Amino acid sequence: MTKPKKWVRNVKTVPTFPPKGVFTKDADTIARIMATKRVSPKGLGSAIRMVQFFLNRAGARLSAARKRELERAKRMLQARRKAQQTE
C-alpha cells in the first residue's frame, strides 16, 4: 500500500514578501513600501497584516523605539485604507 501524496507539493504560488530590511526603516518608508502592489497585491489589508505579523513574531526582541515606529507605520496604513474606503 502506498502513502497518499501530500497536497502541499502541488501548490504553485509565488508568495509576496516585503524586501529584506524594510522593517528597520522609518515609518513613512515602511508604509510606502508595504502599500505597493508588488508587496501587497491584495491591498492595504494585506500590508497591515504583514506589519502586525512582524510585530507579533519579533516583539520580544524589538526595542521600544522600533515598536513605536512599526506601530506608527501600521496606523499610517490603516488611515490610508480608511481613506480609500470612504472615496
Tens of pLDDT along 42-55? 889 999 999 998 89
Grid coordinates given for 39: 508587496
Q: Residue 67 falls within a domain, yes or no?
A: yes
Q: Residue 2 falls within a domain, yes or no?
A: no
Q: Residue 42 falls within a domain, yes or no?
A: yes
Q: Residue 44 falls within a domain, yes or no?
A: yes
CA–CA distance, 58 with 45 (Å, rounded to integer): 20
What is the domain count for the chain? 1
pLDDT per residue as tens digits for the range 24-75: 999 999 999 999 988 888 889 999 999 998 898 887 888 999 999 999 999 9
Q: Which domain holds residue 27?
A: 23-86
Q: Is 47 exposed, middle or buried (0-12, 13-18, 19+ CB in 10 A)?
A: buried
Q: Residue 47 falls within a domain, yes or no?
A: yes
Q: pTM for this one?
A: 0.76
Q: Residue 15 falls within a domain, yes or no?
A: no
